[in-house]
Amino acid sequence: MAITPSALLAALSADHAVSGAELARRLQVTRAAVWKQIEQLRELGAPVEAAAGRGYRLAWPLEPLDAARIRDGLDAATRKRLAELSVHWRIDSTSTELLRRASTASGIEVCLAETQSAGRGRRGREWQSPLGGNLYFSLLRRFDAGMAQLSGLSLVVGTAVVAALADCGVAEVGLKWPNDVLADGRKLAGILVELGGEFLGPCHAVIGIGINLRLPAAACARIDQPAIDLASLCRGKVPSRNVLAARLIVRLVDALDRFAAQGFAAFAEAYARCDLLRGRDLRVFAASAVHEGVGAGVDERGALIVRHGKSTTHYDSAEVSVRAA
C-alpha cells in the first residue's frame, strides 16, 4: 500500500519519538518506505527531527489545515458569502490556482495550502513556503467597478491582516507601505494583489497572503530581508492556523465589501493607525533616482506622501520601493 505524506506527518508527534518500525506497522508499509517519505517531508521543509536512536519526532506540534475547522470559525454571514474554500496539501501557488479559476468563479473563493512549490512574492521574488507551519492563503473576489477604482486595495488588505492578527492576540504589528506586515522591524507577512479583467468594467482581484508562523532556520536564511515568525513574536504561543485563516476570511470579506462601496477613504484612519513610515526618514527608490524625505502618510488613493523640505511628492506603489533611512 502507498503511504501518503499527510498520513505519515499525522503519525508523528512533538511530545515523543516514534520509531521507524512503529510507523511502518501503523501505516502498513515497509521501513524503507517510511524512511523515503520522511526524507521527502524534510525536503519540503517539515520539521521532522531524528531522535537519537529512538526514531523521529516533530520539532513543534503540527496542526493540519482543515476546511471544516476554518468554516466553523466563520460567522453565518461570511460563510454565506464564500462560494469555495479549498485546502491543498501541495500546490504551485494558491494565487496561481485562483488566477486559473478566475474566469469561471461565481463568488468569493479562498484557497490554502500546506506548502507551495512555486510561491510568489512581489517584484518577481520567490516566497519561501516550507511545509506545515505557515499560512499560504489566497482569496479571489470580483469587483463591478473596474481596475481603475481599486487604487489603495493592497493597503486595505494590509489593515485586514493586522485586524485578523489582533483577533488572535497578536498586537505589536504594523504596515510598511505599501503592504509589508512588520513586527519588531522585520517582515512577518507579505501581501501580493494581482488584478485581471477590464480597466473600466468588471474585474477581479486575487489577494495572496503569506504569514510566517513557524519559519525554519533554513527557510529564513533564504529570505533576502530580515524576517520574523509568530513563534518568536508570541514566545512559543503560536495562534491556531485554522483560527487565523478564519479570522483572515472574516476580516477580508468585510473590508473588501466596504472598499467596494466606499473606496479607500473608509480605511484612511485604520491605515494611519498601522502606518510605520509616518514621520520616518525615508529613501524612495524610483527607476532612475533615489529621493530622500520624511514619510507623511498616504493620500486618498493610497499613494505614499513624502515631504522633501517644504514640498511633498506622492508616489504610487507600482513605481517605487521605499526603505527607512
Residues 206-235 contacting ligand BTN, CB under 6 A: 208-210
Q: Using H for helix, E for strand and C for coil, what is the string for 30-73?
A: CHHHHHHHHHHHHHCCCCEEECCCCCEEECCCCCCCCHHHHHHC
Only segment of 65-73, 88-96, 161-169, 273-281 that touches ligand BTN (CB under 6 A): 88-96
**What would the grid cell of residue 8 be?**
505519515
- Select from 78, 93, 128, 154 the one that contacts ligand BTN (CB under 6 A): 93
Report the residue from 94, 128, 154, 317 that binds ligand BTN according to the rule CB under 6 A.
Answer: 94
Nearer to ligand BTN, 24 or 105 (CB): 105
Does residue 122 interact with ligand BTN by CB under 6 A? yes
Do residues 205 and 146 lie in contact, with contact meaning Cβ atoms separated by under 8 Å? no
Q: Report the alpha-carbon angle 53-55-61, nearest 5.
A: 130
Non-local (6+) Cβ contacts of 36 within 8 A are: none
Choose one: 34-42, 117-125, 278-286, 306-314; the region binding ligand BTN (CB under 6 A).
Answer: 117-125
Taking the CB of residue 282, how many other CB atoms lie within 10 A of it? 21
Nearest distance from residue 111's CB to ligand BTN, in Å? 9
Give yes or no for residue 121 binding ligand BTN (CB under 6 A). yes
Catalytic residues: 122, 187, 323
Judged by CB under 6 A, the number of residues near ligand BTN is 20
Other CB atoms within 10 Å distance of the CB of residue 45: 21
Please report how the helices 31-43 and 20-27 are oriented relative to each other, as an axis angle in degrees rounded to 10. 100
Could you tell me if 285 and 320 are in contact, meaning their C-beta atoms sit under 8 angstroms apart? yes
Binding segment for ligand BTN (CB under 6 A), chosen from 79-87, 187-195, 256-264, 280-288, is 187-195
Q: What cell was used for 31?
A: 521501513
128 to 167: interface string for ligand BTN, x by CB under 6 A: --------xxx-----------------------------
- Chain residues binding ligand BTN by CB under 6 A are 93-95, 116, 119-122, 125, 127, 136-138, 180, 190-192, 208-210
